[in-house]
A and B are shown apart, each in its own frame.
Chain A
Amino acid sequence: ETGVTQSPTHLIKTRGQQVTLRCSSQSGHNTVSWYQQALGQGPQFIFQYYREEENGRGNFPPRFSGLQFPNYSSELNVNALELDDSALYLCASSLDRVYEQYFGPGTRLTVT
């Protein structure tokens, strides 16, 4: 059974640029949630996708958008990057029982 994987591992972008982060969910999982974790803080919920539809959203601006594909892998897109977007971005997958989430290792994004 393959766990949750994320790519890339690290990324450096310039303010104003756009970035796409990718997540492959654990085999058989149909729900993916994305989180932003700033240094020394807990993960902040961005949004959740269930069967290719957005199923819930946290308090993040529209420049944070996502997509889930038929194989349940997912993308997080962030437009017009700001310095405060520098963080560890985590995705977590689950199967229907959405509270039982399994996290990937994260993508560390640095915005300069």
Chain B
Amino acid sequence: QKEVEQDPGPLSVPEGAIVSLNCTYSNSAFQYFMWYRQYSRKGPELLMYTYSSGNKEDGRFTAQVDKSSKYISLFIRDSQPSDSATYLCAMSHSTGNQFYFGTGTSLTVIP
């Protein structure tokens, strides 16, 4: 079983839609949860990070962590064509010296 599972998609939505991206994980020791956006042939770009459980909002993006279910989500409101990219979830232990990424979900927002 992989440490982190993420549906690769692809996911295609109309402009303005609410997008929900999800990851599940198996290791209850994970404490830090990150979301990255990666455009084609570029390095990942950090969108948001959360420590332990709870919600965090930044503009159109909301990250949720449910440690009891080992489930994390990223919501994108009012999606834009410029949001079209691959979204990667990542996790680490409290020591922060090893990181585990999901496979990535490919998102296309259609104008």
Interfacial residues, chain A to chain B (CB-CB below 8 A): 4, 33, 35, 40-45, 48, 50, 55-58, 90, 92, 97-106
Knowing A42-B103, A42-B104, A99-B92, the reply to whether A55 touches B46 (Cβ < 8 A) is no
Nearest Cβ in chain B — how far from A107, in angstroms?
A: 10
> Which B6-59 residues have a C-beta within 8 angstroms of A?
6, 8, 32, 34, 36, 42-46, 49, 51
User: How many residue pairs bridge A and B at CB < 8 Å?
Assistant: 65
In contact, A100 and B42 (Cβ under 8 angstroms): no
B43 touches A41 (CB 8 A): no
Number of contact residues on B: which range applies? 20 to 34
At the interface, yes or no: B97 with Cβ under 8 Å from chain A?
A: yes
Tell whether, in the assembled complex, residue A101 and residue B98 are in contact, meaning their CB atoms are under 8 Å apart: no
Please give the distance in Å from B24's CB to the nearest CB on chain A: 14
Known: A42-B6, A99-B34, A101-B99. 6 other contacts (CB 8 A): A42-B102, A43-B90, A56-B98, A98-B92, A98-B96, A105-B42
Known: A40-B8, A99-B92. A45 touches B44 (CB 8 A): no
Q: Is B88 an interface residue (CB 8 A)?
A: yes
Q: B100 an interface residue at 8 Å Cβ cutoff?
A: yes
CA distance A105 to B102 in the complex (A): 19
Q: Does B95 contact A (CB under 8 A)?
A: yes
